[in-house]
């Protein structure tokens, strides 16, 4: 029996998927969680075989939740999402996620992926994989990416400068360069774009 934890902040989707997966003879849904923090706590407590995590959850998203679970539990993680962006796939794979698929897949397909992953194999949706292979590489320098990373939670120029041991003027120059290269008007927009594309 494969023990499965499901985390999704949409109650109807979470409970419907859990009900459908419980119809499978070899799957046992041991937890239904409304967010990443709860999923992490339940994964540590219950030690499921596979964690099925929605990407878009408040607080910890599916990838961050998977990264934390994988540091504490010998589980395997699958991330599901409505918007399967290539950068998110790269981020998910970099933290050790074993499966990645869009929410548009049927319940029986999800069950098949759970079995694949539980058996020690990886599964990446073919369309998402093809998009990831053709996705554009970052036009930003390593230092510009460092500045975006250091400021992605809204840190001030002074805080970024202190974290990176740079002057505030140097950080401003990097920020200006980033905005120009990405064609956006704020650091927040730049960070969101870079994160979506898997650059940070």
Among the listed residues 107, 49, 104, 101, the one whose alpha carbon sits nearest the alpha carbon of residue 80: 101
- What is the sign, positive or negative, of the torsion defined by CA atoms of 91, 94, 95, 97? positive
CB-count exposure of residue 180 (10 Å: 0-12, 13-18, 19+) = exposed
Mark 37-62 as b/e (b = at least 16 C-beta within 10 Å): bbbbebbeeeebbbbbbbbebeebbb
Domain residues of the chain, as ranges?
2-133, 142-196
pLDDT given at position 194: 86
From the centroid of its chain, how far is CA 154? 20
pLDDT given at position 193: 86
pLDDT given at position 142: 85
pLDDT given at position 51: 98
Where do we find the tokens 């990645």?
Answer: 100
What topology is assigned to 2-133 in CATH?
Rossmann fold (3.40.50)
Distance CA 193, CA 197 (A): 6
pLDDT given at position 58: 85
CATH match of 142-196 with 1.10.10.10: yes
pLDDT given at position 184: 92
Provide the total of helices (H) and of strands (E) in the chain, helices listed first. 10, 6
Contact 137, 168 (CB under 8 A): no
Distance CA 9, CA 4 (A): 17
What is the model's pTM?
A: 0.71
Contact 46, 69 (CB under 8 A): no
**Which spans in 47-100 are helix H?**
62-72, 86-94
Going residue by residue through the chain (200 aa), what tens digit of pLDDT does each one get? 999 999 999 999 999 999 999 999 999 999 999 999 999 999 999 999 999 999 989 889 999 999 999 999 999 999 998 876 767 887 888 899 999 998 888 999 999 999 999 999 999 988 777 766 666 677 888 899 899 989 888 899 999 999 999 999 999 999 999 999 999 999 999 988 888 777 87
């Amino acid at each position: 029996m494969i023990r499965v934890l499901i985390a999704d902040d949409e109650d109807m989707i979470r409970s419907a998927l859990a009900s459908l997966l419980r119809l499978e003879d070899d799957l046992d849904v041991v937890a239904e969680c409304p967010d990443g923090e709860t999923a992490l706590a339940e994964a540590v407590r219950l030690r499921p075989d596979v964690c099925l995590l929605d990407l878009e959850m408040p607080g910890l998203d599916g990838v961050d939740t998977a990264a934390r679970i994988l540091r504490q539990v010998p589980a395997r993680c699958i991330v599901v999402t409505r918007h399967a962006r290539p950068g998110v796939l790269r981020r998910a794979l970099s933290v050790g996620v074993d499966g990645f698929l869009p929410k548009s897949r049927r319940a029986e397909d999800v069950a098949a992926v759970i079995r694949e992953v539980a058996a020690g194999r990886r599964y990446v949706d073919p369309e998402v994989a093809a998009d990831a292979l053709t996705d554009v590489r970052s036009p930003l320098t390593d230092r510009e990416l460092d500045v975006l990373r250091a400021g992605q939670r809204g840190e001030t120029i002074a805080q970024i400068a202190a974290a990176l041991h740079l002057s505030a003027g140097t950080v401003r120059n990097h920020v200006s360069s980033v905005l120009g290269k990405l064609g956006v008007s704020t650091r927040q927009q730049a960070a969101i774009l870079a994160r979506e594309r898997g650059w940070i």
